[in-house]
Amino acid sequence: MTTTVYSARRILTMNPSQPFASHVAVRDGRILGTGSLDQLKGWGKFDLDDRFRDKVILPGFVEGHSHAFEGGVWKYPYVGYFDRISPEGKRFKGLKNIDEVVAALAVHEKTLPKGTSLLAWGFDPIYFGGRRMDRGDLDKVSTERPVVVIHSNFHVANANSPVLAKANITRDTNVHGIVKDAAGEPTGELQEMAAKFMAYRAAGVELSAVLSDKEAIWRFARVAQLAGVTTATDLHNDLPESTVDGYLQATQSADFPIRILPAFAAGSVAPAEGVPRLQGLMKKNNERLRFQLVKIVTDGSIQGLSARMRWPGYYDGTPNGVWNIGPDDIDRILLAYHKAGFQVHIHTNGDEASEVAIEAVERALAAAPRWDHRHTLQHAQMADAGQFRRMKALGMCANLFANHLFYWGDIHYAKTLGPERAERMDACGTALATGVPFAIHCDAPVTPIGPLFTAWCAVNRLTASGRTLGEAEKISVADALRAITLGAAYTLKLDEELGSIDVGKRADFAILDDDPLQVAPDKLKDVGVWGTVLGGRIFEAPRA
Amino acid sequence: MIPFTVIGGFLGAGKTTLLNRLLGEAVDRRFAVLVNDFGALDIDSRLVTAHGGDTLALANGCLCCTIGDSLVTTLLDLLERADRFDHIVVEASGVADPGRIADLAALEPRLQRDGVIVLVDAAEVRERAADRRLTDTIERQIRSADLLILNKVDLVTDPGGDSGADLAALRDWLYRQSQAPLFEACRAAVPMGLLFGLDRLGITADAPPSADFASWSYTWREPVPRQALTDLLHDAQRGVLRAKGIVRFDDSPDRRSIVHLVGRRIEIRDGGPWGDSPRGDTPDSRLVLLGLKPVLGCLKRQ
């Protein structure tokens, strides 16, 4: 039984009775106490570890909405507009125009064996002043090898001519999702189901496995850990046997740097089959792996124009989006998991989807009253004050997509939502005011995992173009830090175990170079992450 | 190429009942059926020859797969085993647009889009479609149909009451939204040959599917005027449920044109030059139509 006391420049505990401390004592992977060195001495013999004396210690960050798919896609080259840190800690510079993307792909192409396809991800043409990529661009990468570039939203892709030729896609192919130029020729841009189908077709059926195998889970854990995350969700997974095996193998290693919570994709099988399956999986839980969450995906995305909107709908007049799981099935599935005692996370982007989900929870509670269910709306990007009041009344939580403000805020302001609704989207201020327990998230790989960046978004609400989107919905740095630690832990029902630095909790820390409460709020995202501590084990991050 | 059929319709319209019929009645063809949920299927366990996770194999050669999280990956996996079945049928989810799913056939050279069959619950559809959260979803499904099946008509046709008027109003409502032929049924009882063709090639002339239906085959020695034939098929769409044939059109007499009609959708594609057939067949046009008896009767007189 060894006890280690760590000194720090400052410790931000998220424990209101002792919000700041200079030392934290750790025993058996748990927090023995915080305070001054003198206050901790009474616990007996200890080793004093001064390695963090210049650092600031926070509770390890909790990412309440991410996908292990982030680790899957890092198998392939990243070609996005913004810099992004790889699982190895390498900084990939953002590519600022289509020529840079093509040049990077051409270099990568030379490294690939003959007969394979080239896949890349993270591409986002919305910053390229209207110019779209076409097959001519990608034919410069190769006219023989299939090349597919997947956009950052994962709903659109670009393909080169060999991909189109293999699928017999010509000017005569008249289906949704095949974009054509003014002359009627397919440009190589593919949308929605066409994009997904062609990407999988080009990559071969092994793509599914590559995206979810043990290595992918490791890469996901590393990317998260580099950002100071100690607990992350994989918030929608069918959980086939192969994936479960990958999880079990990865998390059995003491070097595995995070705790991970996969959420069972409730729409993938009937509840009568899903409930016992999830109950069975929970028996396999270990310190770093928790099966306990359920996810229902109701609608699509706002930027993809597939979110379900209430009147008056999309600002640019686009017809309403689509249900992934319709209102009747949301009721049925939610009730089944609710009755079985599970906490259900419900993806709702548009406000009609939020409305349907809230009403489903209301009906489930009327049918089977339960206390502290904490059913959580995930994204809830368009939820208005009235919906937050209903969520509060029903005991629901929200996990708001703060990163969205930066990456798509400009598009929402100009096209999808219009100024008024864009300014109140991802309404952290309203959540706080109405008392709805909330977290904020990245939805990696849709945006990069980085809770300090996410907190920066909630505090500053700046778009990529520099517009402040909704002064009234800004929250303080302290509230944002709570949202990425204890707030997120609450939405996962782990707040008694994680999320603050308090006696008896797990010794999960984020080790920062600076004090986020001392830096200017607009510099929050630039605070360096030295590494993490997970259950007392130290994980230093390589410097990017 | 493998025929690819999508069965759509809102929750409760009878998709599963129809698929149960298909799996029970399939004899000469091995269907691969992609469903949302095995549990809803009514399969006699004695007929299951293999059960491996997401796939059931039946004694009549049919396969059943659950779609799980992704139709795309399920379909691509299935195509890896394309030698094990003759026809793919996808059950769209109750809120999906089945037309979008049928589009996949245009991206996959191994697939031949056959038809989008949409079931409508005669007793419920108007009320469900009046729900503002569902209106567009249900209308999109109806608009996507090549063939509409108005199911559960027994629930609205009560000779003692005035609900016959309800049925007429329902027909009008559907006609306003869709040009697809409307086929009325109880408990999804529809001759499978109408929905999926009678043999692997499409349909044959000599198997009258039931008393209400007729088939008609025609042979032309001379080239067929393209416009006249397509006009005729368009006119007859609401009564002709399927057509299949090889036609020598007047504007391309040297090449075979393959004509394929399911409900309101006519597809004509090139079948290569007449000369290259190993059987050395003569360039006669042959067309087989399958449909409602009165409509075909009218056609015959023309």
Q: Profile chain A (544 residues) by mean pLDDT over runs of 10 residues.
A: 95 97 98 97 96 98 97 95 95 95 97 94 88 95 96 93 94 92 95 91 78 92 98 95 94 96 94 96 97 97 94 96 95 98 98 98 98 98 98 98 97 96 98 98 97 98 97 98 98 98 98 98 98 98 81
Q: What is the ipTM of this complex?
A: 0.91
Q: Which pair of tokens denotes residue A434?
A: 């109405």
The answer to whether the CB atoms of A173 and B73 lie below 8 A apart is no
A195 to chain B, any CB pair closer than 8 A? The answer is: no
Q: Which two tokens stand for residue A305?
A: 């124009």
- In chain B the first and final C-alpha atoms are separated, in Å, by 34
CA angle A364, A369, A374 (to 5 degrees): 75
Question: Pick from B75, B94, B100: which is nearest to A326 by CB?
Answer: B94
| Interface residues of chain B, partner chain A, Cβ below 8 Å | 11, 37-40, 53, 66, 68-73, 75-77, 80, 93-97, 99-101, 103-104, 106-109, 131, 133-134, 136-137
What are the residue ranges in chain B where pLDDT is below 70?
157-164, 198-212, 236-238, 276-282, 293-302
- B60 closest CA partner among B169, B177, B192: B192
- Which of A208, A329, A356 is nearest residue B133 as measured by Cβ atoms? A356
* Half-sphere exposure of residue B23: CA atoms within 13 angstroms, side-chain side: 29
CB contact under 8 A, B11 and A177: no
Please give, rounded to a whole number of angstroms, the shortest distance from the CA of A395 to a CA of chain B: 25
What pLDDT does residue A137 have?
97
Chain B residues touching residue A327 (CB < 8 angstroms): 131, 133-134
Residue A41 to residues A3, A7, A269, Cα–Cα distance (Å) = 11, 13, 54
**Residues of B in Cβ contact (< 8 Å) with A356:** 133
Rounded to a whole number, what is the distance in Å from the CA of A269 to chain B's nearest CA? 6
How far is the C-alpha of A189 from the C-alpha of A123, rounded, in Å? 12
d(CA A383, CA A429): 12
CB contact under 8 A, B137 and A323: yes
Cα dihedral B203, B206, B208, B214, rounded to 10, equals 80
pLDDT tens for residues B77-97?
A: 999 999 999 999 999 999 999
Helix or strand run (H / E) with residue B240: strand B240-247
In this prediction, residue B302 carries a pLDDT of 44
* Burial group, residue A131, by CB count within 10 angstroms (0-12, 13-18, 19+): exposed
CB contact under 8 A, B69 and A267: yes
A329 to chain B, any CB pair closer than 8 A? The answer is yes
User: How near does any CA of chain B get to the CA of A234, in Å?
Assistant: 15
Q: How many CB atoms lie within 10 A of CB B213?
A: 16
With H, G, I as helix, E, B as strand and everything else as coil, classify residue A92.
Answer: strand
- Set out the domains of chain A in order of their start, with CATH numbers: 3-54 (2.30.40.10), 70-208 (3.10.310.70), 209-534 (3.20.20.140)
What does the pLDDT look like over A494-532, one tens digit per residue?
999 999 999 999 999 999 999 999 999 999 999 999 999
Compute the nearest-CA separation of B172 from chain A (Å). Answer: 25
Distance, CA of A446 to CA of A153 (rounded, Å): 6
Rounded distance, CA A244 to CA B260, Å?
46
Chain A residues 215-254 within an 8 A CB cutoff of chain B = 236, 238, 240-241
Per the CB < 8 A criterion, the answer to whether A478 and A521 are in contact is no
Distance (Å, whole) CA A132 – CA A129: 9
Facing B11 at nearest CB: one of A197, A267, A326: A326
Residue A218 distance to chain B (closest CA, Å): 23
**What is the per-residue pLDDT for B48?**
87
User: Taking CB atoms and an 8 Å limit, are B108 and A326 in contact across chains?
Assistant: no
Asked if A503 contacts A32 with a C-beta cutoff of 8 angstroms, the reply is yes
Task: Number of helices (H) and strands (E) in chain B: give both, helices first.
Answer: 9, 14
Q: Are B134 and A270 inside 8 Å of each other by CB?
A: no
pLDDT score, position A105: 97
CA proximity to A10, closest of A478, A517, A497, A500: A517
Of A168, A175, A328, the CB nearest to B109: A168
Q: Which domains does chain B have, with CATH numbers?
A: 2-196 (3.40.50.300), 213-301 (3.30.1220.10)
Q: How far is B276 from chain A (nearest CA, A)?
A: 23
Residues in B touching A193 (Cβ below 8 Å): 71-72, 100-101, 103-104
Going across the sheet that includes A438-440, the strands are A61-63, A229-237, A259-265, A293-297, A343-348, A376-379, A397-400, A438-440
Give residue B301's pLDDT.
Answer: 46
List chain B residues with CB under 8 Å of A200: 72-73, 76
Three-class DSSP category at A130: coil
